[in-house]
Chains A and B, each alone.
Chain A
């Protein structure tokens, strides 16, 4: 499971193995201040990162950030 959260310390401290740092609490995978095209790119980047962590081996709770 890949867990997207705007506050990664919460899932991290609960022992979640793969945590992805989302954008913000009210828009985890988006940003209403961006144009629709740029927002789509942002969402795709975060989603792609989350999916990529599913293919990575981890041994303990790990927080990933999209580049």
Chain B
């Protein structure tokens, strides 16, 4: 057996403890491989050794993460691992979220690489920190063997310090990292070949990756605006004069929260616009051209809108990477939800 140490995290089911009735199980450590770990050990061969398996109930982890995650990390730390593997979680949502959290914590707290595996639609994939490698897995344990082969392959490469090839070749989900490589043909030649293949209706692979968008199920309508708390969000770049939060005029990394209580109108003295993607002089002259607070105040006064959430959330949408927009959007949405906001008016440009 090699001296390289692997710690494995699984849930209560794959740890052999039980199903949903054991989903509250506290974190526990067993020496050596457990459950799918046996096959993983076989695939890792003599180069790496699963020194222990930590398992925990899915509900315990997801519902009490603040207490449970540190306990899991402490057990993993005792194993002094060189690599932490979690899962595969397949399409089990809570398990996927747990694997993502455990791997991110292992990276952060133990400073070791971490690897998990799950199905493409598992919510844990979205939640996984970019520093965590996520191997492609099937939706159910029916694909356990090929999924673990992929995990073992990526684990060994990681442990050897070998650089990984492209995601689709190595079997992991794209991490967003781009690696330069030299080709034998120029871009113009490759482009013409691609075009010829397209004209011949042959398959070709574009070198330009279009970021995937979400398919968001529409929210149900509000039944009565007069009883609705409305939130206002803008990506138009309207900010407080002086831009104290330092929101960037393009590729913004943050959003700001401006209290609106007592603010009847957005005066050009108190508010300005820092969006760098359009001629913003008309918005600077009258910020209502981007954020219609004047109209909304009128509507709450005459009762057409129940009430306004007294905060304006603002950022600059100019050339913001989709991944970052998703994060900022999630943060703002959480605040709105916590504040009991039932509907939102978002003004972009």
Contact = CB atoms under 8 A, between A and B. Distances in A.
A and B interact physically: yes
Interface of A: 1-7, 10-11, 13-18, 22, 25-30, 32, 40, 43-44, 46-48, 50-51, 54-60
A29 B343 contact: no
B183 interface: no
9 contacts: A2-B346, A4-B347, A26-B281, A27-B289, A28-B348, A32-B282, A43-B289, A44-B295, A54-B343
Contacts of A13: 213
B346 A3 contact: yes
Place the interface of chain B in its size category: 35 or more
B214 interface: yes
Contacts of B349: 5-7, 22, 25-26, 28
A15 B282 contact: no
B239 to A, nearest CB: 16
Name which of A7, A43, A46 has the most chain B CB atoms within 10 A of its CB: A43
A15 B214 contact: yes
A-B pairs, 9 with minimum CB distance: A30-B289, A17-B218, A1-B344, A47-B295, A27-B289, A47-B292, A27-B282, A4-B347, A5-B348
A25 B348 CA distance: 9
A55 B283 CA distance: 28
Interface string B247-287: 00000000000000000000000000000001111110110
A44 B213 CA distance: 31
Contact of A47 (B222, B296, B343): B296
A35 B223 CA distance: 35
Nearest to B298: A44
Contacts of B213: 13-15
Contact of A22 (B222, B305, B347): B347
